[in-house]
Amino acid sequence: MITKNQSCFLNQRAPIKFYIVSFLVEFKPYQFRRMSKITNYDEASKSHDFVKEHDDTYIIKSMMEHFTGKNLKDMDIVDVGCGTGSNSKYFLDFEPHSLTLIDGSESMLSKAKEKLQPSASSTEISFQQTVLPDIPYDESSFDAALINLVLHHLEENPDGKSFPIIIQTLKEVYRILKPGGVLTIISITPEQLDANWFSHILPKNTQRWHKRLLSFEQLKSCLSEAKFVVKSAYNSLNALHSDPEGPLSESWRKNLAFYDTCTEEEIRDMINIVSRMKNEGNLEDFYVKHEKIDIFGTINICAAKKEI
The arithmetic mean of pLDDT across residues 270-285, rounded, is: 97
DSSP string covering 143-186:
EEEEEES-GGG--SS--SS--HHHHHHHHHHHHHEEEEEEEEEE
Whether residue 129 contacts residue 80, with contact meaning beta carbons closer than 8 Å, is answered with no
Average pLDDT of the residues of the chain: 86
Task: Determine the average pLDDT of the residues in 86-97.
Answer: 94
Parallel, antiparallel or unpaired: strands 177-187 and 142-148? parallel
The pTM for the full model equals 0.84
Q: How far is CA 281 from CA 29, 200, 269, in A?
A: 50, 18, 18
- Give φ, ψ of 128 to 5 degrees: -140, 120
* Cβ atoms of 177 and 80 closer than 8 Å: no
Question: Mind listing the pLDDT tens digit for each residue in 28-77?
Answer: 332 335 556 676 555 544 555 544 455 689 999 999 999 999 999 999 99
CA distance 303 to 296: 19
What percentage of residues in the chain have a pLDDT greater than 90? 75
Q: Within 13 A of 166's CA, how many CA atoms are on the CB side?
A: 30
Average pLDDT over residues 89-105: 95
Q: In this predicted structure, what is the pLDDT of residue 121?
A: 79
> Does residue 20 register a pLDDT over 50?
no
State the pLDDT confidence band at 13, using cuts at 50, 70 and 90. very low
Q: What is residue 238's predicted lDDT score, i.e. its pLDDT?
A: 79
Confidence (pLDDT) at 1: 64
Model confidence band, residue 22 (pLDDT cutoffs 50, 70, 90): very low
* Residue 17 confidence (pLDDT) above 90: no
3-state secondary structure of 31: strand
Separation CA 137–CA 6 (nearest Å): 10
Query: What is the spatial distance between Cα 55 and Cα 57, in angstroms, rounded to a whole number?
Result: 6
% of the chain residues with pLDDT over 70: 81
- In three-state secondary structure terms, 34 is coil
- Give pLDDT, residue 164: 97
Per-residue pLDDT tens for 134-154? 999 999 999 999 999 999 999
Q: List Cα–Cα distances, 98 to 95, 121, 123, 224, in angstroms.
A: 8, 11, 5, 28
Over residues 259-283, the mean pLDDT reads: 97
pLDDT tens string 201-238: 999 999 999 999 999 999 999 999 999 999 999 999 87
pLDDT at 237: 86
The pLDDT assigned to 286 comes to 97
pLDDT tens, 160-187? 999 999 999 999 999 999 999 999 999 9
* The predicted structure's pLDDT at residue 42: 52
pLDDT of 296 over the 70 cut: yes
Query: Residues for the chain: how many in total?
Result: 308
Residue 195: DSSP 8-state: T
Spatial CB neighbours of 220, under 8 Å, sequence gap ≥ 6? 230
Decide the pairing of beta strands 124-129 and 98-103: parallel
Q: How many CB atoms lie within 10 A of CB 25?
A: 15
